[in-house]
Structure 1
Amino acid sequence: MASYGVISAIRGAILMLALLVFLGNIMMWIIMPTDTYYDNWLLHILADTNSTYFGIQGPIMLDFTFPILFIAILGCVYLHLGKKVASTTRSCERSRELRILKRPMIVKGLGIVTLTELVLFTLFIALCVWYFSDYVRHWFRQALARSITRGEKVWQTKFDRVGIVTGVTGNLCLTFLFYPVTRGSSILPMLGLTFESSIKYHKWLGNMAMALFTLHGFIYIVYWIITHRLSEMLKWGDHYVSNIAGEICLLCGLSMWITTYPSIRRKKFELFLYTHYLYVLFIIFFILHIGIGFATIMLPSLYLFIIDRCLRFLQSKENVRLVSARVLPCETIELNFSKSRELETLSVLVKCEGNWTRKLYDLISSTTPIEHIRVSVEGPYGPATTDFLRHDMLVLISGGSGITPFFSIIRELIFISSTQKCKIPKVTLICVFKNSSNLSLLELNNSSFHKSADSCDLELRIEAYVTREKAHPKSKLESPTTISFKPNPSDAPISPALGPHSWLWLAAIISSSFIIFLILLGVFTQYAIYPIDQNTNTLYSYTKKGSMNMLFICFSIVMTASFAFLWNKKRNAMEAQQIQDTEETKASKTSTSFFEQDDVELESLPLQSITKSTNVHYGQRPDLERFLLDIKESSVGVLVSGPKKMKRDVAAICSSGMADNIYFESISFTW
């Protein structure tokens, strides 16, 4: 236990150091638009970092790139040490003190947010306003002299300056845009966030960035029209801002922005998905538009995202071992994959909601026997740990297929109970279905826990609601059908892309790739850029400089990430050879179903030690407010996975203040 205390202290120190570095980075953002930065700080920074190896790009990377990458490395060490700390329950008293910070609120345009999120979002808006207003003030002072030089009216020059500042403020939003979508990020879990729960931040930042960039482009088109310089739209500034590159960048951004509209994203998801790949062109032409020097400000989040995307790409090229599948009557299939270093499986539930999922369902459920399906995966992704042990009771509320994320939570609680013998909360699962065929999802839940029934102390109660049927159907409900596959010898079990020590490997990739990038950039600047900039009247091409920087970044990341991935792949293959092949079984069908009873209250007979009771209610919806307010336990964690209206209703109940023992867990399972 003493070692755990030391590790906890080290993790606390790492977290504090990361916070201090981040606050210093934010201070640079606040200071940058001011006269103090331009007249004092920048001069000293340039003097102290004067080098022929990095040029003006060096101090910008020192101020804005290095601190964030350093935080990401600290996050890797923090999370690696976290694996060695035993799971402990948090103090309920501390939770009550911080309750107001986590209380959910429904804000129009933002959805369900906590007070902490609302405060941070407000502070970010304030930073954008400060950034915009102080830059406008700074450049308006130069408007008169600039208007004389250009031969235009002062108000026209000011209009031009407003256009520049609008784009610069959009770059501030773009700087943070990629953090929420970096799935293997070390920064998000260090803050207690998951990829799914952070997607809303990406949406907020994306909407703000595109609104500002669109306004930026509109202002400049108007400016060129009123100054009779519309031909500027066709200029590619090789030594300054490239207008054509900016226009291409804006068109790519608008294409992505339009397809994020909810009706398009939900009904034509593939259009949304493939259009979003235009972010590659968006970033390329953005860098060519403003130059690599200024683009370095937004480099950290993009750098970490490229590392993550490279690792995901490498992982998706591997064929994984699909051992079996179960076909459910509710047009849902469960795919079971072999996991490395153990004989258990990893399950994925897929519901028919579109063309691709329909084809997969028809393929697996067809009467023609299938021995093998070639499958590749990315991930899995999700929270590294759950913090639910601090509660006395958990209430899991789901709608339709939204029940599936709760299976993982319940399984983890069962694992903790059977291995660590610590106190775990009671669990009540409230699931709402349209038809009784969806009740087969619960059979997946029960059969998954059969092996742990004797060694688990979890008290699980299930309240199922079938809204579109008035009574239990007279016809016999179909049972799930199990299909076994014969994997190819080359198929590998699912394993982490970077092995069991993935956080340390990620830290090595971040640090080593950035060092290689700096070496390549230094050599290139010293022998290609510096001689031209110093000895001639022309500057080195901004287009070539930006292109070479992008090439160096991609080369450094691909080289280091590929080495780390292939090294761990080799080790995973050696471990996979030691796994006993127990997956070759004949296709069989499950013949029992616990939904063939006439009464509403059902017992899961194989799991009486786990499941307290299962009640099925027909023709009604749950009275969530009455149910939650009647709970007497001192600390109740409430999680919701389902339609937006259900989430908002539960959030409203938890934030109403009618009960002091209810804690809304703001974890998102969908985006």
Structure 2
Amino acid sequence: MNYMMMKTVSRMTFLAVFVGWLMVWVFLPTKIYMQVWTPVLNSKLNSTYFGVQGTNLLLFTFPMMFIAALGCVYLHVQNKSENINKSKSVVRSHRLGFWRRPVLVMAPLGIVTAVELAFAAMFVSLLIWSLSNYLYVSFGHLHMHKAGEKVWEAKFRSVSLRLGYVGNICWAFLFFPVTRGSSILPLVGLTSESSIKYHIWLGHLSMILFAAHTIGFIIYWAITHQMAQMLEWSQDWVSNVAGEIAILFALAMWVTSIPRVRRKMFELFLYTHHLYTLYIFFYVLHVGVAYFCMILPGIFLFLVDRFIRFLQSRESARLLSARLLPCDTVELSFSKSPGLNYNPTSIMFINVPSISKLQWHPFTVISNCNMEADKLSIVIKRGGNWSQKLFQQFSSSVEHVKVSVEGPYGPTSSHLLRRHESLVMVSGGSGITPFISLIREIIFQSQNANLNTIPRVLLICAFKNSMDLTTLDLLLPISGTPIQISTRVQLQIEAYVTRENEQPAADAQKLIQTIWFKPNPSDSPISPTLGPNNWLWLGAIISSSFVMFLLFLGIVTRYYIYPISEENTSNTSTGTYNFSLSSLWDMFLVSCCILVASSAIFLWCKKQNFMEGKQTQKMEVPTPRTSPGSWFYEADSELESLPHQLLVQATKVHFGARPNLKKILLGWEGSDIGVVVCGPRKMRHEVAEICSTSLAKNLHLESISFNW
């Protein structure tokens, strides 16, 4: 009861602070804010310790930093409570199910639910509201910036300037979706992987606005004969050169992120996107410290997450084995510490320095931390240049492969398995990988006698060739631990082979092999970056680094910047403190505070986990043995274990056919059916369209996409 009360109070607090933060954005462009509130706020908040940043630090930065820090505590308590109450039944409520239903299925936008469409409409309304109010106020007090300037020219300049203001609103939200270890996204049931599309939408919006802002000013300078302004780097106001450099980096990132370019030249997209550091640097130099504080929370939290990921990736993970399947798929198994917990459908980013030191690729975690306490496995499908080179290494009898990892990242709870009475999983090709972890979790939960809500599962998987059926061999782990499948598991597998009309006479069992790697003393098991109390330590990093930033910013402003500014104010030839140097101070202090706080806490947690990791490293390496082989070909059933036999009995293979998804989904009995789809875009959109019809009110869609 106390936990539920705390949960309700916390959520109401988060909502109140967030709504208040949004209302500040709503009132920002209005006349009452600029002419009535601003003078009062500046007189009270813009002290000699924070200068012109005081107001924006309180109104725009503090609320989101408060939510991020307090959200870490909330998630820590939530995880502890879920671990205690795992055996309790979950009351399923779909009162808000309508808002999760897909209402728009379009190629550029993907699958858009009702709640996403509503928030997108509100955000666009905010942009339109802001632009219209900015123009209303500016047109009422129009300033001529040049002698003889015409009214329409001044209005044109005003429109160009305000487009940049509106683009700054997009920047305030731009970095939240790509913060993988975010404490804000889980509060609304999101993960960074499912939020990538919001980052894409915001990126396109901001680029359209900033491009119009830049082109507008170039046209204005041309028609007013002020092209020399393009080369101006003002000491006491906005730097035009910094803005032009920033937009050049942004355009390079924008062009290479176009879907067609990104898919055909992924490496070009990947390397070009690393220009975001220079983009942020010159953007802040252009807009100055006051506007930087308006967008600081997203950037601050992203930098915290990025540096923690950097610290984690400095260590090499201990790679145990590689199970090569005949369908050009490999299962990589890593050693992990027992304290590392993750949920089904999690992903992990890996880097192989011998192939590329810069490329990081995300892969689905198929292992289950409950069934395999000392091992973590991912699946890689041979496809692009990077995976081709990885397969070449495995085929060259290599004894050790150096791998760095980031993650795993995923949902904070197993909501898919606890929300619905039954599940229909629809996959195409390698899209089956998230469902492997889900099925393994169901097998584990079925062994808990106290848990009386095990959902029925229908797995629909479509493959191109019969060799791809061996992917289903991954449904059971390779570990030597005996796996028991309870009769409570109601699993039905419908596998479709689309390009073959009959099963070929091939012995796939001989084609499967397992490669075991020799341990390296420098490698370490994958462990939680900040220890078992990851959320608490993350909250400590966020709060301590932000407090340090405010403290040092106040000291630098009061005892260094303010005296120089006062001295220069009396000298009309030099003006106040340099505009760009103020921005450099802010960026320097933010970076230093994050580096110090993150490094100190990371090293402390690493020291605490050292003994646990050392014990895991002493774990004996399994002796090489034959892979269990594929149980979809006619192997000797006496050699197969009981779990394999049960899965064979649950599987039906259809050759030369595609699944009739509409018939299957609408015909599946049940009042509460969760439909999870992962695969090609066409398949995901087809399932979404089926679930959006009036005949599918009992279907609740969850879409998993790897195509950004």
Superposed CA RMSD in Å reads 1.9
> Distance between the aligned counterparts of 2:659 and 2:16, measured in 1?
47
Q: What's the CA shift for 1:134?
A: 0.1
1:313 aligns with 2:344: no
Contact 2:334 2:526 in 1 (8 A): yes
SS, match of residue 168 in structure 2: helix
Superposition TM-score, scaled by structure 1 size? 0.95
Equivalent residue in structure 2 for 1:421, among 442, 450, 453: 450
Equivalent position of 2:426 in the other structure: 397
Q: 1:414/1:241 Cα in 2 relative to 1: closer, same or farther (>3 Å)?
A: same
1:463 aligns with 2:494: yes
Contact 1:392 1:635 in 2 (8 A): yes
> Distance between the aligned counterparts of 1:89 and 1:151, measured in 2?
76
1:589-621 Cα shifts (integer Å, max 9, x gaps): 32543122399xxx9843456676111111000
SS, match of residue 621 in structure 1: coil
Equivalent position of 2:464 in the other structure: 434
Runs of 5+ unmatched residues, structure 1: none
SS, match of residue 676 in structure 2: strand
Contact 1:460 1:612 in 2 (8 A): no
Q: 1:89/1:171 Cα in 2 relative to 1: closer, same or farther (>3 Å)?
A: farther
Q: What's the CA shift for 1:115?
A: 0.3
Equivalent residue in structure 1 for 2:216, among 214, 219, 223: 219
Equivalent position of 1:384 in the other structure: 412
Equivalent position of 1:563 in the other structure: 600
1:27-68 Cα shifts (integer Å, max 9, x gaps): 100111111111221122122224211011011110000000
1:487 aligns with 2:485: no
SS, match of residue 325 in structure 1: strand
Matches within 5 A, 1:445-460: 445-447=475-477, 451-454=482-485, 457-460=488-491
Equivalent position of 1:638 in the other structure: 675
> Distance between the aligned counterparts of 2:278 and 2:449, measured in 1?
50
> Distance between the aligned counterparts of 2:179 and 2:302, measured in 1?
5
Contact 2:483 2:643 in 1 (8 A): no
How many residues were matched structurally? 658
Runs (4 or more) in structure 1 with deviation over 6 Å come to none
Equivalent position of 1:353 in the other structure: 383
Equivalent position of 1:58 in the other structure: 54
Q: What's the CA shift for 1:317?
A: 0.7
1:512 aligns with 2:544: yes
> Distance between the aligned counterparts of 2:338 and 2:110, measured in 1?
41
Equivalent residue in structure 2 for 1:477, among 478, 501, 508: 508
Runs of 5+ unmatched residues, structure 2: 340-372, 570-574
Equivalent position of 1:412 in the other structure: 441
> Distance between the aligned counterparts of 1:75 and 1:591, measured in 2?
45
Equivalent residue in structure 2 for 1:105, among 103, 109, 118: 103
Matches within 5 A, 1:526-565: 526-537=558-569, 538-565=575-602
SS, match of residue 165 in structure 1: helix
Q: What's the CA shift for 1:485?
A: 1.2
Q: What's the CA shift for 1:84?
A: 2.0
Equivalent position of 1:167 in the other structure: 164
SS, match of residue 260 in structure 2: helix
Q: What's the CA shift for 1:156?
A: 0.5
> Distance between the aligned counterparts of 1:391 and 1:620, measured in 2?
29
Equivalent position of 2:661 in the other structure: 624
> Distance between the aligned counterparts of 2:429 and 2:524, measured in 1?
32
> Distance between the aligned counterparts of 2:4 and 2:247, measured in 1?
47
Identical pairs, percent: 48
Contact 1:492 1:573 in 2 (8 A): no
Equivalent position of 2:234 in the other structure: 237
1:57-84 Cα shifts (integer Å, max 9, x gaps): 0111100000000011121111101112
Q: 1:175/1:580 Cα in 2 relative to 1: closer, same or farther (>3 Å)?
A: closer
1:82-140 Cα shifts (integer Å, max 9, x gaps): 11222455544x31x21211111234332211100000000000000000000011111
> Distance between the aligned counterparts of 1:508 and 1:60, measured in 2?
23
Equivalent position of 1:188 in the other structure: 185
Matching residue's letter, 2:102: P
Matching residue's letter, 2:239: S
1:114 aligns with 2:82: no
Q: What's the CA shift for 1:669?
A: 4.7
Matching residue's letter, 1:390: R
Matching residue's letter, 1:321: R
> Distance between the aligned counterparts of 1:124 and 1:105, measured in 2?
18
Contact 1:322 1:338 in 2 (8 A): yes
Contact 1:323 1:583 in 2 (8 A): no
> Distance between the aligned counterparts of 1:59 and 1:614, measured in 2?
63
